[in-house]
Amino acid sequence: MRTATVTIKPAALTHNLLQVKKRAPNSKVLAMVKANAYGHGIKVVLPALQQADGIGVASFTEALEARDLGWQKAIGLVEGVFSAGEWQQAIDHDCSCVIHHLPQLNWALDNIPKDDSPTRTVWLKYNTGMNRLGFDDDTVIDAAQQLSDAGYQLILTTHFANADDFEHPLNTVQIQRFNKILKVLQQAIDADIQGSLCNSAGLVNFPEHHHDWVRPGIMLYGSSPVTHKCAAELDLQPAMDFSARIMAIQTVKAGDSIGYGSRWFATEDTQTALVSIGYGDGYPRVVSADAYVCVIDSKTAQSQRCPIRGRVAMDMIAIDISAASHITLDSEVRLWGDAPHVDEVATYAGTIGYELLCRLSTRPKRAVHIEP
Ligand SMILES: Cc1ncc(COP(=O)(O)O)c(C=O)c1O
């Protein structure tokens, strides 16, 4: 049987949440679980994130799924609702919404939830420089005033454009704008207005600006959110192992090539193995010549680094096993997990770990690693 497998490690998720809490001890945590928990599967992830104060999702459908799975704490819709009808649904399901533009403001003003409804708390989005969603300097104070007059509790929020890059000049601009407007709102409208500025990268790079809520995503899943430190240096554990098995072993003769497009030629007779994984599973088709996988030595259980040779196909890749030992048909091959880390694979593929995690196909089998 074909055995490409995605294994989720709940203990790693819980560990990573703990790291978030250690870094931001005075803030509440809105754990981002949008896009099916960054590809990990929301059903497995939610129980591991019970210690979060709330979860963040991108759509009402995702919110509903979380409610159906029994999540009772706060849910934040980080893009808000898309219609007046959906605003009512958000009220019905106790979701708290971002309000980032006029139509959403009007839906909220036209239909005010009851005093004790979680929807009475809204995340007012302020555009500090990302220039995607949010009210600008000219409109944010007025929007806040209207919402506050209507009885809403406010969390002023914004999103960094470059928080992964500590040195980027826009970070300071965004932080200053955010802090200034938050102060204005607190002084002019309501001292209890809260703030939420940081995603994972902001949380790591700007500890003095955590405010009331942090909104970590990628670091919960064990990837590094910053450019200058890897996941291990941040004490983050990958929450996903992606693995497959060897399906054939062969020798490619010196001078021969392997795979589509004949992109790699053997300079000497080379032992290769075919692994039952490909872009049909979500492994990236284009990876650089440095890309490697780890094969588990069947005797010692040690992990051995084996380079990928030739093109990644839909269902298989070829790897060079000439320097490896005790490789047999059916040996386990790690595509990403502890090593290589998904962030490394992403570098070889010219993308980011987020994308690789989110774009896995439905073909690999799903498993959950239960700690012994
Ligand atoms: C509004 C908002 N906050 C927080 C996050 C989490 O970001 P990260 O995964 O980089 O921590 C996201 C993700 O894109 C987001 O859109």
Could you list the residue range(s) of the whole structural domain that residue 127 is in?
10-224
Output the average pLDDT for the chain. Answer: 96
Nearest protein CA to atom 5 of ligand 1, as residue: 199
- What per-residue confidence (pLDDT) applies to 270? 96
| Ligand 1 in reach of 218 Cβ (< 6 A) | yes
Active site residue 126: no
Among protein residues, the one with the nearest Cα to ligand 1's atom 14 is: 217
> Mind listing the pLDDT tens digit for each residue in 312-345?
999 999 999 999 988 998 899 999 999 999 999 9
Domain final residue, candidates 224, 259, 280: 224
Using one digit for the tens of pLDDT, what is the confidence trace for 290-299? 999 999 988 8
**Residue 260, pLDDT above cutoff 80:** yes
73 a catalytic residue = no
Residue 34 CA: which ligand 1 atom is closest? 13
Ligand 1 site, residue 174, Cβ cutoff 6 A: no
Residue 2 lies in a domain: no
Mean pLDDT for the stretch of residues 70-91: 97
| Burial 220-244, CB ≥16 within 10 A → b, else e | bbbbbbbeeeebeebebbbbbbbbb
Determine, yes or no, domain membership for 229. no
User: How many angstroms is it from 276 CA to the middle of ligand 1?
Assistant: 33
Number of structural domains the chain divides into: 2
CA nearest to 40, candidates 11, 72, 6: 6
Pair 197, 172 in one domain:
yes
224, 252, 282: which is the final residue of a domain?
Answer: 224
Region at 219 (left for phi over 0; alpha for psi -120 to 50; beta for the rest): alpha
**Does residue 129 sit within a domain?**
yes
Ligand 1 near 215 CB (within 6 A): yes
